[in-house]
Amino acid sequence: MVTGWKRYIPHLRVLPEDTIPSSVEDGDDAMVVSLKDSDGDYDDDTDENPKHLTGKQVDIIDKTVSFDSNEQLEDVTRDKSFIDHYQEATHRYNQLEKDIPYELRDEAGRPWWKFFDEFEYRVNKQYRKSRKWYEFIYPNHTTQNPAERRLLYKLDVLITFYFFLLSWSKSVDTSNYTNAYVSHMKEDLKMKGDDYINTSTISNVGAIVFQLPFMYLLPRFPAHILLPMMDMGWTWFTFACYRAKTLSELQGYRFILNAFGAAYYPVSQYIMGCWYAPDELSSRVCLFFCGNLLGSVTSGLLQGRIFSALDGRHGLAGWRWMFLIDAMAVSLPTAIIGFFVVPGIPSKCYSLFLTDEEIKLARIRNKRNQIKDGIRKSKLKPLWDKSLWKSVLLKPTFWVLCIFDMCSWNNMTAYSGSYALWLKSNTNYSIVQVNNLSVLPACLGFAYVFFCALGADLFHCKWIFMVFAAIMNTTSCAILIKWNVTHSAKWFAFLTTYFSVAASPCLWSYINDFLRFDPQIKAVTWIAIYSFSQSTNAWIPKLAWPTTESPRFKTGYTVSLIFGVIYGLWTFVVLYLYKRNEKQHALGNGIILYDSSQNDVVPEFVETDLEQREDGYYYVKK
């Protein structure tokens, strides 16, 4: 128990079960296996090769086999029948959970259209029936209680709202670069030709390079320290941008600034994936992206107001005042708040605001959803371990998600700056009007993001909203490629460009669900996918969106159209892989599968380890 002034500083919350070894609690009729190594952790390899347990203590209470905990496994491994039974018992123990309803499902006669049922193997019928459609943001399943809902309320304030603020502050500065460019920064720093896109590319390189160390840092060091410290660096170099006297100086500041902001996207999604269930996540990531959109809106409106009110005040141009205000009034408070509200992950929680009961409840939720959020440092593999990279690179999941995320990054016409440059090319608009009108697509983007993200959680179906967003985006690109269309058609095309980002919460929710089984692989894969996608976004825009093509950008819209089509079609590849992955983990999702048409029989453990109750579902025997 922390006392005195230290209680106001986030510290590692150690629960009783973290220090007291677990013991066998069930009677002889239940099947319990307790496997521990010398440091009290469960051995993750036990179900793959029981020989790894040689020399370790084993307690098995089973109808068929029982022997004292002081016996060594090596004394009985000569009996092959025991090994087979031991493997089967261990596998069942690692899969079956007490008080979880299991659905027994026969796959015979499964209709073809079930392929499009995204959650077919992700949740069982009991889970679906217990979910009221109007409670989709705070689903109240029969396994939940009021305490769980209170936990979600707290998490939404501590995690979702904070990442909303963090995303907003980052977006304000990112958008501010475009607004500053059209507010005389171009003239003050003598920018010409492709200097605008070149500076953006240099900034992206800083983010890409400095993301990579987070493959090592993320699973080892507390996020409530890492993230705010990086944010403090971001704040300082945002402040430094105001004093840039030359283009090269600005480019240097933007490079270092983005280096400090390198991992806030993947780190924030990593943390959110450790606390929220799959049918809760898209709605929360939605708010993260809304922070991004709000930043675009805020930056445009602030720049317009600041340019008219402060331009030339104390000898500073209006665009310089924006960087000053952004750093001191936006980024700095966000960084300070982060030290106190980011809770880490459930297994290694650093929170001043969550009770021990709520942390324990979060761990129970993760257990039900098969989310493994942390591993002891002693069990983490070195980053240069070949087996770690084989687990990442030799699986189709990584490459399928890489292509998916890359297409998502490179079909985003919303962040190309083309709309603002088109407005500036129209002599009917003043600089203030350009800044004010530049927020319109982002304002509509709120509605697009909410539509896709909330719809995905409401209907348990992300893919259909991703395909719809891709169709809308490609339609927008097609209109702008043609260009010589009516004025209203062109406005429609520009005002629908934010459909290119509308489905991003669904995409990131997919990635989190794919990677929930191993936190180290999750960290490496998240950073690798994000770095790969962002690296393509560092050079593709340079080729596709050269400033010299302003304001038409025919090449850019053509490239975005191509990536948008691939994105929409690739969604079905991801859906196939996701369904296959969840079918392999169906037992952990509360579904017992067999196929009578293939002469499969009901698994033996249904009879030996489970009992059917009045509600028609199976439960682990008491």
Q: Regarding predicted confidence, which is higher, 461 or 377?
A: 461
Summarize pLDDT for 461-498 with one digit per residue, the tens.
999 999 999 999 999 999 999 988 888 898 899 999 99
pLDDT for residue 121: 92
Q: Of all helices (H) and strands (E), which one includes residue 494?
A: helix 487-495
Q: Annotate 37-84 with DSSP letters as a single string.
A: -TTSPBPTTTTT-GGGGTTSBEEEE-SS-EE-TTSBGGGTTT-HHHHH
Q: What is the mean pLDDT of residues 163-192?
A: 84
Residue 104 in 3-state DSSP? strand
Token pair for 575: 């859906």
Which range among 27-31, 501-505, 548-552 has the greatest average pLDDT? 501-505
Domain ranges in the chain are 23-95, 146-584
Q: Which CATH class is domain 146-584?
A: mainly alpha
Summarize pLDDT for 44-68 with one digit per residue, the tens.
443 333 333 333 332 322 333 333 3
pLDDT for residue 467: 96
Residue type, 167: S
Confidence (pTM): 0.79
Least confident of 33-47, 362-376, 520-534, 591-605: 33-47
Summarize pLDDT for 402-435 with one digit per residue, the tens.
999 999 988 888 777 788 888 887 777 777 777 7
pLDDT for residue 478: 94
CA nearest neighbour of 521 among 273, 208, 197, 282: 273
Q: For residue 105, report the phi and psi dihedrals to the nearest 5 degrees.
A: -125, 125
| Mean of all residue pLDDT scores within the chain | 80
Cα separation of 295 and 174, whole Å? 8
Least confident of 429-433, 520-524, 584-588: 429-433
Cα separation of 173 and 327, whole Å? 8
Token pair for 153: 């309320």
Q: Regarding predicted confidence, which is higher, 194 or 332?
A: 332
Token pair for 149: 């809902």
Q: What is the mean pLDDT of residues 513-539?
A: 88
Token pair for 235: 């704040």
Q: Regarding predicted confidence, which is higher, 580 or 41?
A: 580
pLDDT for residue 464: 95
Cα separation of 239 and 248, whole Å? 16
Quick check: 307 pLDDT over 70? yes
Summarize pLDDT for 10-23 with one digit per residue, the tens.
878 888 777 655 44
Q: What is the mean pLDDT of residues 372-390?
A: 86
Quick check: 561 pLDDT over 60? yes
Q: Are 619 and 106 in contact (CB under 8 A)?
A: no
Question: Confidence band (pLDDT; 50, 70, 90) for 1?
Answer: low
pLDDT for residue 571: 96
pLDDT for residue 52: 35
CA nearest neighbour of 444 among 283, 297, 299, 291: 297
Quick check: 2 pLDDT over 90? no
Summarize pLDDT for 588-606 with one digit per residue, the tens.
888 999 999 888 889 888 8
Determine what percent of the chain is predicted with pLDDT higher than 70.
Answer: 86
pLDDT for residue 30: 35
Quick check: 89 pLDDT over 50? no
Residue type, 165: L
Q: What is the mean pLDDT of residues 514-526?
A: 90
Q: What is the mean pLDDT of residues 441-459?
A: 90
CA nearest neighbour of 452 among 518, 408, 407: 408
Residue 563 in 3-state DSSP? helix
Summarize pLDDT for 103-157 with one digit per residue, the tens.
999 999 899 999 999 999 998 888 888 777 777 787 765 556 788 888 999 999 9
